[in-house]
Amino acid sequence: MTPGGGDLALLPTHAHFNLFGWVTLSLYGLIHKAYPSLGGGATARVQFVLAVLGGVGLPLGFGLPRTYPAHNILIGLGALSGAIAAILFAAIFVRRVIVKAHA
């Protein structure tokens, strides 16, 4: 509890829902809108699924009580899938936009 009476126990959950669930996915969407060639293909589908899993799993892990066994597992898997999704997105962008522009 804070001196003002507010409970900040779920602050990390709120922050990660905003970052992974809104900001990151919004950036992916805006970049896809600007570069439609990024869509399609198996790699893009895998990247999408991993991004959504990271956007849901990480905040859910933070939202669980620390004593719950799945707490650390969800945080780890959510962070890992979100990181792999970001790396895949960067690889797709480099391959389909940057390399193609120089070819």
Exposure b/e, 52-72, CB count within 10 A at least 16 = b: bbbbbbbbbbbbbeeeeeebe
Determine contact, residues 16/58, Cβ cutoff 8 Å: yes
Q: How far apart are CA 38 and CA 59, in angstroms?
A: 27
Range of the domain at 36: 11-102
Q: List per-residue pLDDT tens for the chain, 103 residues long.
A: 555 667 777 787 777 778 777 888 899 999 999 999 898 889 999 999 999 998 888 888 888 888 888 888 998 999 899 999 999 999 999 999 988 887 7
Q: Tell me whether residue 59 is in a domain.
A: yes
Q: Supply φ then ψ for residue 39, to 5 degrees.
A: -80, 165
Q: Tell me whether residue 6 is in a domain.
A: no
Q: Tell me whether residue 50 is in a domain.
A: yes
Chain Cα centroid distance, residue 46: 13
Q: Tell me whether residue 45 is in a domain.
A: yes
Q: Tell me whether residue 1 is in a domain.
A: no
In this prediction the pTM is 0.81
